[in-house]
Amino acid sequence: MVTREEQTKEAIHSYKETPWCSNPKAYQNIVHEDENVIVFKDRYPVTEGHLLFVPKKRERRADITNCFTYAYEWGVQGVCNYEYEAFNVGINNGVAAGQTVMWPHVHLIPRRTGDTLNPRGGVRNVIPLKGDYDGIGWGKPIVKEKNSLGALGRSPSSSPSK
């Protein structure tokens, strides 16, 4: 078990102290900024378009909630604009969950067919072998059905050619 002392030994008191802002070329990775949130391209992206939504304050729950709202809306926009087919939005909250920068931030990870062998189970796959919760298809490639619709009600295969 990780102790409270271990979790707070590298305390960050401002978003400006995070690696995203303290990097000399940080401004090159900023894709949006307003009075509440700053959005960065992830320096170690897991897919093209991986973004970090960082609250400028962490005084109220709404500070991180705004980041989830921004990330979700940004993800929907990306799907509607045919930039990617789907997306995951998530947070690593605490050392045991994999958080390495101890300032709250939300990840938007665009998803495309073929970016993983089998995306079934989505975020459940953060614990190895737990994504296949009903025993169907673990390790089998997903074959895209001709008429499958995503949560946004459109088929990613219906995207116009670019």
Q: What's residue 124's pLDDT?
A: 82
Beta-carbon contacts of 107 under 8 Å, excluding residues fewer than 6 positions away, are 42, 50, 51, 52, 53, 71, 88, 89, 90, 91, 92
How does pLDDT run across 10-68, given as a tens digit for each residue? 688 999 999 988 888 888 999 999 999 999 999 999 999 999 999 999 988 999 999 99
Q: What's residue 160's pLDDT?
A: 43
Q: What's residue 121's pLDDT?
A: 83
Domains of the chain: 4-130 (3.30.428.10)
Q: Which of 53, 48, 93 is nearest to 70 (CA)?
A: 53
Beta-carbon contacts of 93 under 8 Å, excluding residues fewer than 6 positions away, are 99, 104
Q: What's residue 151's pLDDT?
A: 55
pTM: 0.78
Residue 158 pLDDT > 80: no
Q: Give CA–CA dist 58/63, Å, rounded.
A: 6
CA-based end-to-end distance of the chain: 50
Lowest average pLDDT, out of 93-107, 120-134, 140-154, goes to 140-154
Q: What's residue 6's pLDDT?
A: 56
How does pLDDT run across 70-80, given as a tens digit for each residue? 999 999 999 99
